[in-house]
Chains A and B, each alone.
Chain A
Amino acid sequence: MRGKPLTIFLLMLVLAGVGLIIVGSATSWISLKEFNDSFYMLKKQALSFLLGLISFLILFSIPLNTLKKYGNWIMIVALFLMALLLTPFAVNSGGSTRWVYFSGFQFQPSEVVKLAAIIFFSALFSNTSFNRGSWKAWAVAALLALIPVACIAVEPDIGSAITILAVLSILFFAGGMPIKQMIVGIPVIAGGLAVIILTVPYAKARVLSFANPGLDPLGTGYNQIQSLIGVKAGGLLGRGLGLSLQKFQWLPQAYNDFIFSILAEEIGFLGVLAVLGIYLALVIVGFQVGLRSRQPFNSLLAAGISGLLAIQALLHIGVSSGALPVTGITLPFLSYGGTSLLISMAACGILARIAKEEVSAL
């Protein structure tokens, strides 16, 4: 590995390294209390990191044509995993069913679906038989896109649903959707979102408490208020690694959906700016790799993957810093959670592969 693939690999390693450090800090108290070992959750995350490295290498070694060829199957397998949520293997936690538990091993199918959908739609839109001029083709694509979005939305996991919706929107846009179709499509998406927010009670409550967190400070507004406390307390330089106060269960999900708040509290604005810079660098490199590619599939795939990382980061940080309504989105590489880390690293493997294939094609 050298050049762009190496750059991608190193940026990924730095982010995952920051992730392990901050997960270690954010989980130590809860690990000690729940498992009597303050490193318990960190060890699990480190194991996921190793698995992530393996999946990076595996995907780095798979030719892109193969991915394109099996795009349909990948999507089908991902949806099959989603379907496991309807079986007794599913774990219900906090009112939603997002995890599949399988002989000591727990994972989140929606994370797989995100990547699978990007591969599937990149393949679809780069297929010469896809007729961009036809309303029908776009309508079919939109219906296909609705499947993963809807599956995730009903878990319910509005955050992931919105993420995948946003990524697929990028792919639809980059994939060449004509202006006319967009004029019809955008209001449909916006309308769909509005319906979800108005009909799903918890989504509605979160939007309302976003507008006014003080409305219910111990209920729906609680996470937002506690998250903001952490972010503000970080100040310019932070309280120091390991010195977050909010991680002591003041901020629920501190190690997961609000890990950024703990990061901001411990390393401050300058540290956060550095981490944001690394994210942006990875995203820009990812997009560049795609833009240099001569293959429309590779180019779309790179944009989709980079877009996914960017969107997750923006949404997670936006939520943690009170700029967006509360919705559970993991921060790629940093949040505690094996599936998220593994998939993010696998996605980087694909990006590195795209870069490699371009270099070898020259």
Chain B
Amino acid sequence: MALQSPKNFSTQKTRIKLVLGIIIFFFFCLSLHLFNLQVIQGSREGEKVYANTSQNVDILLPRRGTIYDRSGKVLAQSVDCYRVDIRPAEIKPENRPDVASKLSQILRIPEEKILELFAKYYEPFPLDRQIDSEMADKVKSLSLPGVDILPSEKRVYPYGALAAHILGFVHPDFGFNGREELFGLEGIEAAFESTLHGNPGVVVQYFSPIGEKLPIPPSQMQPVENGKDIVLTIDTTIQNITETALEKAVQEKKARSGCAIVFDVKSGEILALASFPDFDPNNWSSVKKEDLQNVATQFSYEPGSAIKFVVGAAALEEGVVEPDTIVEDDGPIVIDGNIFSCPSEFGGPHGKQNLYQLFKNSCNVGFIKLGQMLGIDRMYKYFKLFGFGSPSNFELPASLGKITPQDEWSKSDLAAVSFGYGLEVTPLQLASAFQIISNDGKYVPLHIVKEIRENGKAIESFDFTFTKQVISKRTALQLREALKGPVEGKVPQGLDQYGVFGKTGTARAWKDGQYTDLNNTTFVGAFPIDNPRIGILVNINEPQVEFAYAVRVCVPVFMEIAAKIVDIMRFPLP
């Protein structure tokens, strides 16, 4: 076979070189194209390129923290359960009666109700949020299209209504990525929402187009962080005693509402905080709005005579009186045209009295005179020092109360405030002020959260040993002696050996811009007098019985609670 002509062959080689050049050029272009796709676009989109395909983002919901009492009893806890979600669009109209009937049998929801909901919603909706695993399995086994079983969470309050106002409750709402989660709506559940809630985790799972889980380990983009636990200062036993005594009194005295606070005067820890009417947080959806008010922290009222211990403390601390100084009630006092007096039904005029007698008689005229001796500036100063009208750092939502600004006080205001009118306080503020007297003049904030725990270990403790000396120890001791007056002869046997001191207060209830015929009654006291440990405040509002005075309404409740606490805590005799 002969060779081609050299000319043809060289043309062939030139052309082959040209072809090679074109191929190299195409390879180069393709590399640039791939660089753009993989490096530029790829790094911009990252893992997101898989969105809507193989990746399925799974949200791991955090476990809500548990709330414990001081001894570790569970007051609120989350448990796993299941929910039934319905996607109505995926249930054919002709199948609906059948689906409704099957679900009705398992979930115990009336068939008509289910059918009604099917018709009402187009978007997916939850039919039942809290079913147990047994029910969930039954529904699952039906494998009904448009009916999903999803993991869910249920909040359980094992003691029912006990400490309801402290704990509050939770309610479901849309959380992370539109997933339903529980959020605190009242009480500690709401106030410590971020502590209790935790943070959801994000896990990416991989699936095939027909939904098979791929043999690729899920990648955790964000680990789940469970909620932290809260330990309250509350003692469940004392809380129970307190609630029982309060509820009984409120009902017997046909009162509108009431509260009781039991606190450790040295540590500031609240051992019990009861408010009535109450509710069951397990069944919060049936709660009436007015029942939600925490009387102890949110009820703001004129305390009446209960405030007099503050006036007494100011007078002693400022040296305007000594315990044996005689203050005379010689009948009504007229200030700026207003008449102030001790009515005869309360034994007025009281005549000459020392401090003990002033407290025992709860003599308005006498305390007005003390107020006048102190003057507006000093009175205002001590009310602020004792925490009235100021925001507190209390853990639960609390009212400020109301105190007239110093420069607006008239002489009448000074007189009114001296016996507990013309200002508003909350029971918690009164208890907090009384803590100062009981703790030798040292202020320790009343508080209800003892510890925040994570995995059983305390990560934050709220111990307040000493924060502020408000009045001298001498003043506190003198005042305590005088405060035995109001309970003289009222302390039951057994308790009397410890020595109880305190102050009653009965004030007209204010409603719709005027005073009513009803009273708000208060007693705040503490014991043992020589080394006070427990303070108790009882407040009962608008009792509708004869002799609706604090000494008849609140003092017995105090004594009942105190006697039981002495029993439980095995107080050593003085």
B-contacting residues of A (Cβ < 8 Å)?
29, 65, 68, 126-128, 132, 170, 173-176, 226, 228-229, 231-236, 243, 245-246, 248-250, 264, 268-269, 272-273, 276, 279-280, 283-284, 287, 290-291, 294-296, 299-300, 303, 306-307, 310-311, 314, 317-318, 321-323
Which B residues between 33 and 90 are near A, CB-CB below 8 angstroms? 33-35, 37-39, 41-43, 45-47, 49-50, 53-55
Which B residues between 134 and 157 are near A, CB-CB below 8 angstroms? none
Judge if B284 is at the interface, Cβ distance under 8 Å. Answer: no
A174 contacts B19, C-beta separation under 8 Å: yes
B42 contacts A234, C-beta separation under 8 Å: yes
A245 contacts B214, C-beta separation under 8 Å: yes
B55 contacts A245, C-beta separation under 8 Å: yes
Q: A229-B49, A229-B53, A321-B30 are in contact. Are A236 and B39 (CB under 8 A)?
A: yes
Q: A128-B2, A280-B24 are in contact. Are A174 and B15 (CB under 8 A)?
A: yes
Q: Among the interface residues B11, B20, B210, which one has the most CB atoms of the partner chain A within 10 A?
A: B20
Judge if B373 is at the interface, Cβ distance under 8 Å. Answer: no
Q: How far is the CA of A276 from the CA of B29 in the complex (A)?
A: 12
Q: Which residues of A contact B39 (CB under 8 A)?
A: 235-236, 269
Q: How far is the CA of A268 from the CA of B15 in the complex (A)?
A: 35
B38 contacts A246, C-beta separation under 8 Å: no
B interface secondary structure, majority: helix
Query: Whole-angstrom distance from the CB of B303 to the nearest CB of chain A?
Result: 70
Q: Which residues of A contact B206 (CB under 8 A)?
A: 245, 248
Assuming A231-B38, A276-B34, A321-B37, what are 12 further A-B pairs, CB within 8 angstroms?
A234-B42, A236-B38, A245-B50, A245-B53, A246-B54, A249-B209, A268-B38, A287-B20, A296-B3, A296-B12, A299-B9, A321-B30
20 pairs, A vs B, C-beta closer than 8 Å: A173-B15, A174-B16, A175-B12, A231-B34, A231-B42, A232-B45, A233-B49, A236-B39, A236-B42, A246-B53, A249-B210, A250-B53, A250-B208, A273-B34, A284-B20, A291-B16, A294-B3, A300-B12, A307-B23, A323-B33
Q: How far is the CA of A294 from the CA of B3 in the complex (A)?
A: 9
Among A128, A226, A284, point to the contact of B1 (Cβ < 8 A): A128
Query: Whole-angstrom distance from the CB of B173 to the nearest CB of chain A?
Result: 34
Q: Among the interface residues B3, B27, B41, B209, which one has the most CB atoms of the partner chain A within 10 A?
A: B27
Q: Which residues of A contact B214 (CB under 8 A)?
A: 29, 245, 248
Q: How far is the CA of A314 from the CA of B26 in the complex (A)?
A: 7
Q: How far is the CA of A68 from the CA of B1 in the complex (A)?
A: 11
Q: How far is the CA of A243 from the CA of B47 in the complex (A)?
A: 13
Among B8, B9, B13, B23, point to the contact of A314 (Cβ < 8 A): B23
Q: Which residues of B contact A264 (CB under 8 A)?
A: 34, 38
Which B residues between 203 and 217 are near A, CB-CB below 8 angstroms? 206, 208-210, 214-216
Judge if B490 is at the interface, Cβ distance under 8 Å. Answer: no
Q: Which residues of B contact A276 (CB under 8 A)?
A: 27, 30-31, 34
B42 contacts A176, C-beta separation under 8 Å: no
Interface residues on B, range: 35 or more
Judge if B467 is at the interface, Cβ distance under 8 Å. Answer: no
Q: Which residue of B lies closest to A317 (CB)?
A: B30
Among A235, A250, A295, A323, point to the contact of B42 (Cβ < 8 A): A235
Judge if B4 is at the interface, Cβ distance under 8 Å. Answer: yes
Judge if B17 is at the interface, Cβ distance under 8 Å. Answer: yes
Query: Whole-angstrom distance from the CB of B331 to the nearest CB of chain A?
Result: 95
Q: A248-B208, A248-B214, A321-B33 are in contact. Are A232 and B41 (CB under 8 A)?
A: yes
A280 contacts B27, C-beta separation under 8 Å: yes
Q: Which residues of A contact B38 (CB under 8 A)?
A: 231-232, 234-236, 264, 268-269, 272
Query: Whole-angstrom distance from the CB of B9 to the nearest CB of chain A?
Result: 5
B43 contacts A173, C-beta separation under 8 Å: no
Query: Whole-angstrom distance from the CB of B13 to the nearest CB of chain A?
Result: 6
B11 contacts A232, C-beta separation under 8 Å: no
Q: Which residue of A lies closest to B51 (CB)?
A: A229
Query: Whole-angstrom distance from the CB of B205 to the nearest CB of chain A?
Result: 11
> What are the interface flags for B208-228 relative to A under an 8 Å C-beta threshold, 1 for contact and 0 otherwise?
111000111000000000000
Q: How far is the CA of A67 from the CA of B37 in the complex (A)?
A: 43
Q: Which residues of B contact A228 (CB under 8 A)?
A: 37
Q: Which residues of A contact B49 (CB under 8 A)?
A: 229, 232-233
